[in-house]
Amino acid sequence: MQISIANNETRQLLNHRLEQLSDDGFKSVQLAHFGDLNQDLINSLTINVEEMMISAGDRKPLIKRVFSILIEGLQNILIHGESLDGGQPALLIVASNETKYRVVLGNLVLAAEREKLISYLDKLNGMNDEEVKSFYLEVLNNGLISTKGGAGLGFITMRMKSKDRLHYTFDTCDDGQLFFSISTDLDRLA
């Protein structure tokens, strides 16, 4: 298990997320990171998770799905996450039990973005797998590129690859920001 923590203030949020995982039956945490994020760290974290899954004997299709979710989620954080005190706090936890992996990602967002995120994620969660695929193709073909360079495919990809709902929470922070966490489960046996 690899754990890195930015400071004492983030320790409480990380501990809360780890307690939630334990309560949900995820007793094994392969990786937990809460701190600044950059492209080199994304590369390192994703390689570590991939190597851990290979050594655990997980099948290649599952490894690819988890890897895809990690890349999409961490790139979303890097591109869209808000900064705090000159850094960009990011959360990544990969936990497992006998039947599932859970990927938890988090970053700061502006409080004004909360309702927009809820609406978008609830829309995705209300779709079946075929509707998600169709929506992905529609956004891919017709999506507008945002000022930060995204077309809105990250959450869709995460939903499509996990084949599960995207669960989310918002924790209050200072300065009009919220800490947004999103998680999804992947079946190890399917």
Q: What is the pLDDT of residues 137-156, one digit of tens each?
A: 888 888 655 555 555 688 99
pLDDT per residue as tens digits for the range 29-87? 999 998 888 899 999 999 999 999 999 999 999 999 999 999 999 998 988 888 877 77
The DSSP result for 88-105, as a single string, is -EEEEEEEE-SSEEEEEE
At residue 84, φ and ψ (nearest 5 deg) are -145, 125
pTM, 2 dp: 0.89
At residue 162, φ and ψ (nearest 5 deg) are -80, -25
Q: b/e string for 88-97 if b means 16 or more Cβ within 10 A?
A: bbbbbbbbbe
CA distances from 111 to 58, 91, 114, 117, 170 (A): 38, 18, 5, 10, 9
At residue 28, φ and ψ (nearest 5 deg) are -110, 120
| 16 pLDDT above the threshold of 50 | yes
Residue with tokens 């299709």: 61
What is the percentage of the chain residues whose pLDDT exceeds 70? 88
Strands 100-110 and 28-36: unpaired
